[in-house]
Each structure stands twice: as C-alpha cells, then as structure tokens.
C-alpha cells in the first residue's frame, strides 16, 4: 500500500491557496477520483513522490522528457547557462542556434520566432495567418487542443474534455464566431466548409496526430487532402506539433507523413523541460511579423537562455537518430504486451500508437475522431488508473491524454508496466 500522508498534507495546504489545489486542471485527479500525489524528484524514466513512492512515468512532463528526467546533458547545459545569467531580454547566442536546429529538423520552416509556450505559439500563428491573408476565419477540429487562447478554446481536447466542458466560461461568443469546428478525419466536411466560406478562411490548424483526445491517427489521405484543399483555397495549413514535434520522428508528424505545412507550432521539447515555445514556416508569411511587418508579437522571456540551453542539449541528442530507433523498439514492445494483457483479461481495448506516443482506449474499434473517443467505456479507466498507480506505474490521470515513452525507459520498465497492466485490466473488466 502506498504511503500518502505527505502528499495529503501538501494537497490540503494547496487547496487553501490555489484554485482546486493545482495549477493545471488535469492534475487534480477529478477525472479518476482520489487526490494527486506531489513529486519530490525525477530521474530517468522514474519519479518519486514526497512519501518516497517510486513510479515508472509515462507522462514525461506531458511529452518533453524524451531523454528521460534530469538527463545529465540537459542539467549540465542549464547549470552552465545559469552561471552567465538567468534572463536578459536582449538577444543571446542560443537563439540563432535553436533556430538553426529547428530548421534542420523541419525543412518546412524557413524562419522561426521563439516564444514562451505552446499556447502562445498557436495563438501567435493564428494571428499571423490572419494578418498575412487578410482573412478572419479559422478551421479547427473536435478534440484538437491548441492551448487556452480564447479563439481556440472551442471543442478542445485535453483538460476541457476531461471535465466535460469543452468551452470555457469567460470566453465571449464574439471571440469565437470566426472559428469553424469540424470532425477530425472528415475531409468532406472540410471541403464543404471551405466552399461555404470561400475567400474567408485564413487557415486550418490541427494536431496532425491528435494527442489531446487520447491518441488519434490521421486516416490515409486526410493530411494530403488538407494540404491540397488549403492550396486550392489559398488558406494556410498550420500544424500544431507541440506534442508530436521531434517525438514521433525527428521532423515530427510532417516528416512521418510527408506533408509540408505553411506554419508549424512547437513547444515543450524544445525547452528540454523548461518553458518555451516557437512557431515558424514560410519566409513570406513569417516576414509579416513585427519588426518587419504589421503583425505584432513579443515577449520579455522569449529566447530565455536557460530554456534554450536545455532545449539545444535535448535536440542535439536526437540528431543521430539512435534515440528514435530506441523509442520505436520500446513502443512496439509495450504495444504488443498491452494487447496481449487485454486479451488475457477479456476486456475490449484498442491500443493506438505512433512511435513513442500511445493511448489505450476501452473499446473494440479504432478511434478515428472525438465521437469515437467519447463512445469508449470511460468508466473502466478509473479502476485501471488506480491499479496501475498502486503497482508503481504512472499514466496520465485522464482517459483523454496520450502517454509518452522516453529513451530512459528500459525493457525491464516496459515489462514491469505490462505486468502491472495485467492486474489493472482485470479490474477494469469487472
């Protein structure tokens, strides 16, 4: 039985000072019941809570810990950068190096602008698309989460879905009247929307692989179809690769599927675990940004030296391709073991994976869109989650979040996870 006294005390104290006791809603465990634990430290593929419990971690700080927690190269880079100063608000040498690395991995990016989060990157990319095209409307998809900017918080995934309220209070209808929401993987709906709003759509934005409604893969032809339609209608195609960038392949989903978007949004991983974001793409579009153009975007902490030093260390470790080979091997082992464990437990489970990202849905058919995800037997996730936790495996406390494998996971970690899942799936089947 896990010790929880210290975590309970910290949560009780947090409830007195922080709304819901947490600083991001999904951390509150409301979707699975119970109370969150508080982390003391993390190393490699493991985390330890303040009560000393050890967990194999598949949240990985929601994706960026691709090398594992506290990777020595990243820690050393941050230490060396910190000795020179923690923030300047002035250009520093890390900025062109990061831009060069992003362009190296993503040939679609000709110029890049650094910012502070994935939310900021997506918000800024939408503003840029509207400014560059002179149009107002944007198409997004059910279940795709692009941060909590007002105009994009419509039928979003992630925490909004977890609590059953896809739209947020405090967002005036006028802020979202130019946002068109369509089902993911429905190319006919996209074509109809573009025809009905001919000459008015600035951009289509999407997660090319949906990571905020579990993990939903694009149908064959969906991404190429979007590329073709946006070109026909002179709208921009924006890939939100905050989760998938540098993870599902070195060049993200656009490398994996051979698609060239006009703009790409980045976050998480390019900070090596520190707060950072970026967006980039075609030079003729990016040059609409101030100080060259009329689209304003700024940030005091943009290009922060600590975040960039950490991110550069992380990305340089990916250059050889060995990390992604390791991740693919680990992912395949986990997938095979989880499918077998579900069969042994007699529970319907669909395991969807792209490289080192994955999700286990409780259902007997592939999940192609948000409606499929919502139709799964979500009540089975609660006993599954808590049993995994008791067995020392931490997966996200929501059925609508992707899991992440790191290069620090070992075969022993994967096998221990599968063993824990055997018991968890049996309980979920009851």
Q: For residue 209, what pLDDT is reported?
A: 98
- Kindly tell me the burial class for residue 411, based on how many C-beta atoms sit within 10 Å of its own C-beta (0-12, 13-18, 19 or more): exposed
Is 268 tagged catalytic? yes
Nearest alpha-carbon partner for 225 in 213, 215, 237: 237
Tell me, what's the pLDDT at 155? Answer: 59
Which residues are CB-neighbours of 122 under 8 A, at least 6 positions away?
146, 147, 149, 152, 205, 238, 240, 242, 265, 279
Dist CA 51 CA 28 (whole Å): 18
pLDDT for the residue 383: 96
The structure tokens listed for 34 are: 């119970």
* DSSP secondary structure string for all residues of 69-102: BT-HHHHHHHHHHHTT-S--SS--THHHHHHHHH
Residue 18 falls inside a structural domain? no
Compute the radius of gyration of the chain from its Cα atoms.
21
Based on DSSP, count helices (H) and strands (E) in the chain, helices before strands.
15, 14
Backbone angles phi, psi at 26, to 5 degrees: -65, -20
Task: Identify the active-site residue in 58, 145, 257, 394.
Answer: 145
User: In this structure, what CATH number is given to the domain that contains residue 107?
Assistant: 3.40.640.10
Is residue 367 situated within a structural domain? no
* Exposure class string for 82-94: b at 16+ Cβ within 10 A, else e: eeeeeeeeeebeb
What's the pLDDT at 176?
A: 77
At 3 the pLDDT is: 87
* Interatomic CA distance for residues 22 and 28, integer angstroms: 6
In a domain, 37, yes or no: no
Gap between the Cα atoms of 317 and 54, Å rounded? 27
Q: Strand 111-115 and strand 54-57: pairing?
A: unpaired
Candidates 142, 240, 262, 369; catalytic one: 240
Domain carrying residue 234:
72-316
Residues 6 or more apart whose Cβ sits within 8 Å of residue 195: none
In a domain, 30, yes or no: no
Query: Does 429 fall in a domain?
Result: no
Q: How many domains does the chain have?
A: 1
Residue 243 CB neighbours (<10 A): 28
What would the two tokens of residue 371 be? Answer: 């409606």
Bridge partners, residue 138, by sequence? 179, 203
Residues facing 216 on adjacent strands: 210
Q: Is residue 122 part of a domain?
A: yes
Q: How many whole angstroms separate alpha carbon 361 and alpha carbon 378?
A: 8
Q: Tens digit of pLDDT per residue, the chain (430 long)? A: 788 999 999 999 999 999 999 999 889 898 899 999 999 999 999 999 999 999 999 999 999 999 999 999 999 999 999 999 999 999 999 999 999 999 999 999 999 999 999 999 999 999 999 999 999 999 999 999 998 877 776 655 444 433 333 356 777 777 778 889 999 999 999 999 999 999 999 999 999 999 999 999 999 999 999 999 999 999 999 999 999 999 999 999 999 999 999 999 999 899 999 999 999 999 999 999 999 999 999 999 999 999 999 999 999 999 999 999 999 999 999 999 999 999 999 999 999 999 999 999 999 999 999 999 999 999 999 999 999 999 999 999 999 999 999 999 999 999 999 999 999 999 999 8
Three-state secondary structure call for residue 162: helix
Residue 319 has a CB neighbour count (10 Å cut-off) of 12
CA atoms within 13 A on the CB side of 274: 25
Query: What DSSP string runs through 241-297?
Result: -TTTTTTTSTTHHHHHHT---SEEEEEGGGGTTSS-EEEEE-HHHHTTBTTTSSB--
User: Which residue in the list 111, 268, 391, 426 is annotated as catalytic?
Assistant: 268
Q: Do 132 and 285 meet the contact criterion of CB atoms below 8 Å apart?
A: yes
145 is catalytic: yes
Element (H, E) at 129: helix 118-133
Q: What is the pTM of this model?
A: 0.94
**What are the tokens at 120?**
């900021």
Q: Is residue 358 in a domain?
A: no
Q: How far apart are CA 326 and CA 172, in angstroms?
A: 46
Specify if 28 maps to a domain.
no
3-state secondary structure of 42: strand
Question: Both tokens of residue 189?
Answer: 């709906």
């Amino acid at each position: 039985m896990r010790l929880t006294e210290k975590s309970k005390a910290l949560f009780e104290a947090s409830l007195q000072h922080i709304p819901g006791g947490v600083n991001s809603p999904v951390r509150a465990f409301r979707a699975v019941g119970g109370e969150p634990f508080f982390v003391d430290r993390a190393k490699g593929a493991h985390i330890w809570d303040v009560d000393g419990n050890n967990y194999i971690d598949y949240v990985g700080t929601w994706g960026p810990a691709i090398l594992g927690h506290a990777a020595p190269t990243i820690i050393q880079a941050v230490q060396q950068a910190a000795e020179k100063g923690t923030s300047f608000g002035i250009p520093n040498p890390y900025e062109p190096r990061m831009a060069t690395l992003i362009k190296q991995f993503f040939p679609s990016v000709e110029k890049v602008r650094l910012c502070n989060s994935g939310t900021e990157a997506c918000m800024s990319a939408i503003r840029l698309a509207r400014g560059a095209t002179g149009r107002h409307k944007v198409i997004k998809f059910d279940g795709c989460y692009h941060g909590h900017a007002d105009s994009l918080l419509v039928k979003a995934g992630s925490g909004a879905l977890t609590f059953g309220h896809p739209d947020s209070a405090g967002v005036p209808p006028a802020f979202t009247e130019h946002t068109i929401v369509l089902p993911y993987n429905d190319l006919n709906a996209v074509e109809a929307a573009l025809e009905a709003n001919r000459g008015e759509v600035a951009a289509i934005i999407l997660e090319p692989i949906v990571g905020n409604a579990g993990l939903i893969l694009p149908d064959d032809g969906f991404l190429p179809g979007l590329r073709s339609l946006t070109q026909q209608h002179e709208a921009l195609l924006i890939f939100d690769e905050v989760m998938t960038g540098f993870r599902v392949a070195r060049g993200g989903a656009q490398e994996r599927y051979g698609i060239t978007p006009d703009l790409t949004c980045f976050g998480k991983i390019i900070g090596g675990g520190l707060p950072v974001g970026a967006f980039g793409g075609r030079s003729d579009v990016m040059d609409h940004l101030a100080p060259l153009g009329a689209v304003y975007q700024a940030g005091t902490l943009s290009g922060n030296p600590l975040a960039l030093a950490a991110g550069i260390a992380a990305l340089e470790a990916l250059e050889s391709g060995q990390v992604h080979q390791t991740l693919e091997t680990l992912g395949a082992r986990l997938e095979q073991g989880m499918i077998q464990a579900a069969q042994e437990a007699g529970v319907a489970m669909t395991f969807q994976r792209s490289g080192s990202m994955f999700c286990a849905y409780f259902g007997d058919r592939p999940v192609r869109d948000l409606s499929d995800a919502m139709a799964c037997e979500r009540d089975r996730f609660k006993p599954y989650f808590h049993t995994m936790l008791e067995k020392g495996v931490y997966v996200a406390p929501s059925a609508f979040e992707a899991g992440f494998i790191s290069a620090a996971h070992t075969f022993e970690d994967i096998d221990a996870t599968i063993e824990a899942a055997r018991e968890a799936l049996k309980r979920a089947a009851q």
